[in-house]
Amino acid sequence: MGRAFVYVILGGGVAAGYAALEFTKRGVSHGELCIISEESVVPYERPALSKGFLLPEAPARLPSFHTCVGANEERLTPKWYKEHGIEVVLGTWVKSADVKRKTLLTATGETISYKFLIIATGARALKLEEFGLTGSDAGNVCYLRDLADATRLVDVMQSCIGGNAVVIGGGYIGMECAASLVINKLNVTMVFPEAHTMARLFTPKIASYYEDYYIAKGVKFIKGTVMSSFDMDSDGKVTAVNLKDGSWLPADMVVVGIGIRPNTALFEGQLTMEKGGIKVNGRMQASDSSVYAVGDVAAFPVKLFGETRRLEHVDSARKSARHAVAAIMDPEKINEFDYLPFFYSRVFTLSWQFYGDNAGEVVHFGDFSGNTFGAYWVNKGNLVGSFLEGGSKEQYEAISKVTRLRPAIEDLGELEKLGLGYALAE
Ligand code: FAD
Ligand code: NDP
């Protein structure tokens, strides 16, 4: 049993949604494109799951956040895919791939063949078990990667309003979920091994601003240690989190956000890998010329840095997906992907954006006791990264623009003095 398509997108997340829109803009014919996804719904804006979806009042629910509303584009509902003749195979896990034969085998036993394959399998959340711990299957331990996880998290959260939540991990999931749990009136303690939150991006000074803000909202931080085990009740629910430093925390629920691994397993040994992802060229094309990889799973050349990177952010998923489709459908016209990395987050009433690379020396600017502040990173004499909290649209555009230009910086003191004014004047 099998079906054949010209184009197949494996994975039905953010990148798949943006790729589908790009295919239709470039004139795909009915019946040529197929999307296969393990999820039970058509592509949606995953960032909503740790933000609007968790709000106690008027929470975001599908169909309101299907792609591509996050980029102010058309919202692609199931009806849209139907009208455009796109076959969407939902609730279906692809269990193997044969790159030489250009086929995918689904868990339901169907073989789907392609002329061009776009791998958009994203990533999975790392489990405690991968760190030698146990307890992920407890009734009140939550992860957050997809709609099913988010729905479960909301159920668990609503069952323990006023109780204690322990958040394991001080990264993006930890920070955004902690804020949502506070808004839902839970007492939150965050536990993570590093000296401060968001250790891979924030400087200690930036982190301390957010931590002070969280503390004022009632969040407690336990840094420099990790959990060692859970105490459980007879219903299989966690009642306390034991830490390596010997202390323990009472818990009515636990949220775990300890990083991800890209879903590359189907292609190990068939495609070249790098940085934990599928290595692609500036056209998002993998080591087999019929295969493209986009989003979290792709390790692509970032021209601006002169090296290959794998990014785990929604903007790169959207843009790499569009680029791959352009490269497939208009190969003569397309240039190398020239991407400026962009990360952002929104928690409580705070909102920051980051562009570029956080390498080299840091120059902070602005009012760290007020609402607007930021930092520049200067590496080998050039400005390579910019961070801004509380900026206006124009200010964010200015730091984005200046970061792409990579201007030479001779005097760090002068840059510090000019602060945001430097970006605005460029
Ligand atoms: P995904 O969106 O993860 O999609 C992968 C899809 O592939 C899924 O549907 C999955 O089920 C499917 N799949 C995988 N393997 C198979 C298989 N074998 N068979 C069938 N289907 C398969 N980034 C930001 O920049 N800003 C944010 O504010 C932000 N918030 C986030 C909040 C949350 C809760 C999460 C989890 C992530 C957030 N991110 C954010 C990251 C961003 O969502 C990801 O970078 C983005 O979703 C990556 O898109 P993708 O299409 O590569 O992968
Ligand atoms: P992150 O990589 O952001 O953070 C994971 C954190 O957990 C790190 O601080 C890590 O420390 C820490 N950690 C690792 N092991 C342990 C442990 N055993 N106990 C306690 N802490 C531990 O991953 P997240 O899980 O927060 O996010 C998952 C994905 O979702 C990422 O791809 C992220 O980009 C994406 N996301 C993005 C958002 C955004 O862009 N606004 C919002 C939400 C999610 P160490 O660094 O030492 O390993």
pLDDT value, residue 426: 78
The residue type of 334 is I
What are the start-end ranges of the H helices in 5-62?
14-25
Q: Is the peptide bond before 68 cis (omega within 30 degrees of 0)?
A: yes
**Residue reference for tokens 């400026």:** 340
pLDDT value, residue 50: 98
Residue 7: HSE in the Cβ half-sphere, 13 Å Cα cutoff: 29
Ligand 2 atom closest to the CA of 126, numbered from 1: 25
pLDDT value, residue 425: 95
Which has the closest alpha carbon to 126: 185, 59, 56, 173?
Answer: 173
Collect all residues with Cβ–Cβ distance below 8 Å to 217 and sequence separation of at least 6.
Answer: 179, 182, 348
Q: Is the CB of 124 under 6 A from ligand 1?
A: no
Tell me how crowded residue 328 is: count the other CB atoms within 10 A of its CB: 24
Q: Is the CB of 257 under 6 A from ligand 1?
A: no
199 alpha carbon, closest ligand: 2
Q: Is the CB of 14 under 6 A from ligand 1?
A: yes
CB 140 within 8 A of CB 253: yes
What is the best residue among 9, 14, 315, 342 to mutate for testing ligand 1's pocket, by most ligand atoms within 8 Å of CB? Answer: 14
Q: In this predicted model, what pLDDT tens digit does every residue of 345-394 receive, in sequence order?
A: 999 999 999 999 999 999 999 999 989 999 999 999 999 999 999 999 99
Buried b (16+ CB within 10 A) or exposed e, 79-97: ebbeebebbbbeebebeeb
Ligand 2 atom closest to the CA of 194, numbered from 1: 47
Reduce the DSSP state of residue 294 to 3 states and report it.
coil
**pTM surpassing 0.90?**
yes
Q: Is the CB of 387 under 6 A from ligand 2?
A: no
pLDDT value, residue 247: 94
Q: Is the CB of 391 under 6 A from ligand 1?
A: no
Task: Report ipTM (2 d.p.).
Answer: 0.97
According to DSSP, residue 371 is labeled: S
Q: Is the CB of 13 under 6 A from ligand 1?
A: yes
Q: List the chain residues with pLDDT less than 50.
A: none
Which has the closest alpha carbon to 128: 169, 178, 171?
Answer: 169
Protein residue closest via CA to atom 32 of ligand 1: 47
pLDDT value, residue 291: 98
Collect all residues with Cβ–Cβ distance below 8 Å to 291 and sequence separation of at least 6.
Answer: 99, 116, 117, 119, 267, 271, 285
